[in-house]
Amino acid sequence: MTDKSIKTLTVDQAAEEAADLRPQLLEWGKQYYEADAPSVEDDVYDRVYARLVALETAFPEIVTPDSPTQRVGGSSRSDLPKVTHDIPMLSLGDVFSLDELTEFDERLRGNVDTPFDYNCELKIDGLAISLRYENGKFVQGSTRGNGQIGEDITANLKTIKSIPQTLSRPLTIEVRGECYMPKAAFLALNERREAAGQAPFANPRNAAAGSLRQLDTRVTADRQLATFMYNVADYEPLTTRTQSGLLDELAELGFTTNATYRVAHDMADVAAYIETYQARRTELAYGIDGIVIKANELPLQRSLGATVKVPRWAIAYKFPPEEVQTRVLDIEWTIGRTGVVTPTAIMEPVALAGSTVARASLHNPDYLIAKDIRIGDTVLLHKAGDIIPEISQYVAAKRPAEAKAYVIPTTCPSCGAELVHLDDEVALRCINPRCPAQLAEGMNHFASRNAMNIAGLGPQIVAQLFDRNLVQDVADLYRLTTDQLLTLDKFGEKSAQNLLTAIDNSRNNSLERLLFGLGIRHVGAKAARSLAAAFGDMASLMAADSEQISAIDTVGGIIADSVVTYFANTQVHELVAKLQAVGVNMTYTSGTPATNSTSEFTGKRVVLTGKLQELTRPQATEWLEQHGATVTGSVSKKTDLLIAGEAAGSKLAKAQSLDVPVWNEAQLQAAMDETK
């Protein structure tokens, strides 16, 4: 984008520049709204958009009807039902500097005869939602969509704990706010996705958007989404007549609101608020990308009204991204378990937004080529969504004369096999099934906690086992000897013995751990358990066809096809035979009752919710399953029992409304003690 002052442009030049910007913005917007996968940083989008607005404001004759500035938002994805917003959900106008903010204030005060206050609020980096209540009951929830028409996501929103199903007063009201994914939940989700070979989400907002628009509500329920509500379509049903009072009243009604708001009398107060939260943004448990100021009197908001696109009584101040410079020392290629080869920039360590950063993913070869990052370059680094280090660009003025364009490898840095792109993927892959780097990643996964749970077998030990040719595959682990382990770095008699014991114990794991540990594409821990429980042993699963597998309740067609493809491979058959030969258990034993053949849980559908104090969720689930219960994720009429820990939310309310029996944790503990 050029910084050329608009004042020096001719109409033709402005029209030409605007014509360049529009298709680019439309394309970015489409990726953002329809695929939840933006190809540029929001900040870049916002600035290009602001430039187009500035051009069109200076030269109104160049505005075209299809310009992105003439729309409120993106269009909706077609597979969810539509909801018409009777009162449109407008997005806010943006400013990027205190000067622009002051201009907004002066303009507004010029149009209002009496003095007024602003309410300052954090701008939560999430997805706008609208919740409709009739006589105090939650009846419908939707996304903003294009502002006029959104998507019906009622079922998904019902899985979110912070959204009340019933209000403390029987109001008929439409409440608006933001749905977001807390930073910790986002990091954990991406970790799980990467372990499962799925692409990580770019930032918490995309993760929240992707989670909310799931057709399968169980996925949404798993994603730990949260909300802050901050607005109503019509304030008449409320008793308050101020924005700050509205936040308090929404909290009284049962909504989660953000407590950091502050009433500001003038721009000095606003600037102080901005300074406070700009400094604290990295400490917050959720992402913010700026602050919002709103005229505090609700009747004043109403009388000021809105333009076609934005309300006149509020504006968003966007934080500049925190950005630092550092130098790229190397570009490293790492090979994942599924063979994907990913470039990573290794940089001089630098402090950025609360942590020290020395690595940034360059995602794939196309990305690296597009950014033209070279070894020795000085680069601008920021954190996407406040957490993930990302290189925005190299600094042209600081590029060393000797820096050469980076050459993308054509062969695997681990095994030397030729790298390929499968089915038009952007990712580069090594497809050699014997590639040591992939095998090592696969072994790390095999040993991980939710798989075979081999304590003490970490990546450094795995790397040495492969380097010294002590193992070729995971079955070889079971043939390791003390003498062999003693040849590894820092290994003594005791550590060798501990590792052998851990490996030995893993032979007795129930089948689902082995299935998950094999790293079959799309088969996560949960699907592995369903498969193991349904088929009982490895041979039956291997003999099953796609139809038989997808007949299982929680297993879809994609997983079924992937399982069939996996077991069609003769190398897989050899590996399974080898595992069997070294004594690895091939049957499902988790479901077998530990003591009695029946218990009070046999055949019961049980749901766990809330926070348990003494037990972890997996422990409670495992125990219940061992005693014959089926543990499911959502409450329905078929549910026999809900076990509710602390801070149980919507599932508890639903169970009560369906007259499902509810136990607390102490009751579960008592039942566990009895069966001992």
Question: Considering the complex, what minimum distance in angstroms separates the CB of residue 333 from Zn ion?
Answer: 10
Closer to Zn ion by Cβ: residue 202 or 440: 440
Q: Does the annotation list 415 as a binding residue?
A: yes
Pick the closest to residue 183 from 355, 358, 364 (CA basis): 355
Tokens of 205: 């907002």
Helix (H) or strand (E) holding 331, with range, is: strand 324-335
The least CB distance from residue 339 to Zn ion, in Å, is 7
Q: Is 317 annotated as a binding residue?
A: no
Tell me which stretch binds Zn ion (CB under 5 A): 288-296, 325-333, 415-423, 464-472: 415-423
Determine the interface stretch with Zn ion among 50-58, 202-210, 404-412, 567-575 (rule: CB under 5 A): 404-412
The residue type at 572: V
Determine whether the annotation assigns residue 286 to a binding site: no
Q: Cα-Cα-Cα-Cα dihedral of 168, 174, 178, 180, to 10°?
A: 60
Q: Point out which span in 143-151, 169-177, 251-259, 409-417 binds Zn ion (CB under 5 A).
A: 409-417
* Residues 422-441 contacting Zn ion, CB under 5 A: 430, 432, 435
Min. distance of Cβ 429 from Zn ion in angstroms?
9
Please say whether the beta carbons of 282 and 321 come within 8 A: no
- Binding span for Zn ion by CB under 5 A among 160-168, 172-180, 408-416, 560-568: 408-416
CB 439, min distance to Zn ion, A: 9
Q: Compute CA distances 540 → 101, 529, 576, 586, whole Å.
A: 67, 15, 13, 10
Site for Zn ion in 347-366 (CB under 5 A): none
Q: What is the DSSP letter of 7?
A: G
Alpha-carbon distances of 575 from 59, 187, 446, 475, 517, rounded to whole Å? 69, 33, 13, 7, 13
Residue with the two structure tokens 């925005």? 392
**Minimum CB separation from Zn ion for residue 411, in Å?**
8
Given the complex with Zn ion, which of 189 and 435 has the nearer CB atom? Answer: 435
C-beta of 130 vs 364, nearer to Zn ion = 364
3-state secondary structure at position 648: coil
Q: Which of residues 598-627 bind Zn ion (CB under 5 A)?
A: none
Nearer to Zn ion among residue 74 and residue 339 (C-beta): 339
Beta carbon of residue 413, minimum distance to Zn ion (angstroms, whole number)? 8
Residue 105 known to bind ligand = no
Binding-residue total with Zn ion (CB under 5 A)? 7
Q: Rounded to the nearest whole angstrom, what is the least distance from the CB of residue 332 to Zn ion in the complex? A: 15
Q: CB-wise, 432 or 506, nearer to Zn ion?
A: 432
* CB of 461 vs Zn ion, minimal distance in Å: 21
| Residue 332 annotated as binding site | no
Of the candidate residues 76, 206, 211, 414, the single one contacting Zn ion (CB under 5 A): 414
Q: Which range in 236-244, 412-420, 506-514, 555-563 contacts Zn ion by CB under 5 A?
A: 412-420
Q: Identify which of residues 10 and 469 has a Cβ nearer to Zn ion in the complex.
A: 469
> Which H/E stretch holds residue 247?
helix 243-253
- Please choose, from the candidates 185, 192, 190, 208, the residue with its C-alpha nearest in 3D space to the C-alpha of residue 200: 190
Q: Is 318 helix (H, G, I), strand (E, B) or coil?
A: strand
Q: For Cα atoms 8, 14, 20, give the angle at the middle one, nearest 5 degrees.
A: 135
- 106 annotated to bind ligand: no
Dihedral angle sign, alpha carbons of residues 612, 613, 618, 622: negative
Q: Is 412 in the site for Zn ion (CB under 5 A)?
A: yes
Which span sits near Zn ion by CB under 5 A: 22-30, 317-325, 369-377, 405-413? 405-413
Helix (H) or strand (E) holding 123: strand 118-124
- The reply to whether 144 sits in an annotated binding site is yes
Which of 30, 123, 309, 604 does the annotation list as catalytic?
123
Q: Which candidate, 119, 168, 485, 93, places its Cα nearest to that of 318?
A: 93
Tell me the β-bridge partners of 179. 127, 227
CA 173 to each of CA 91, 263, 298: distance values in angstroms, whole numbers, following the listed order: 20, 25, 16
Residue from 92, 350, 415, 470 that binds Zn ion (CB under 5 A)? Answer: 415
Residue 137 is assigned to a ligand binding site: no
Q: What is the DSSP string of 56-104?
A: HHH-GGG--TT-GGGSSS-PPPTTS-EEE-SS--PPPPEE-SHHHHHHH
Q: Does the annotation flag 673 for ligand binding?
A: no
- Quote the CA–CA distance of 550 and 543 in Å, as a whole number: 14
Side chain identity, residue 455: A
* 120 labelled binding-site residue: no
Q: Is 158 a catalytic residue?
A: no
Q: Is 275 helix (H, G, I), strand (E, B) or coil?
A: helix
Site residues for Zn ion per CB under 5 A:
412, 414-415, 417, 430, 432, 435
Q: Which parts are annotated binding residues for Zn(2+)?
A: 412, 415, 430, 435
- State the catalytic residues: 123
The binding site consists of 42-46, 91-92, 121, 144, 178, 294, 318, 412, 415, 430, 435
Binding residues for NAD(+): 42-46, 91-92, 121, 144, 178, 294, 318
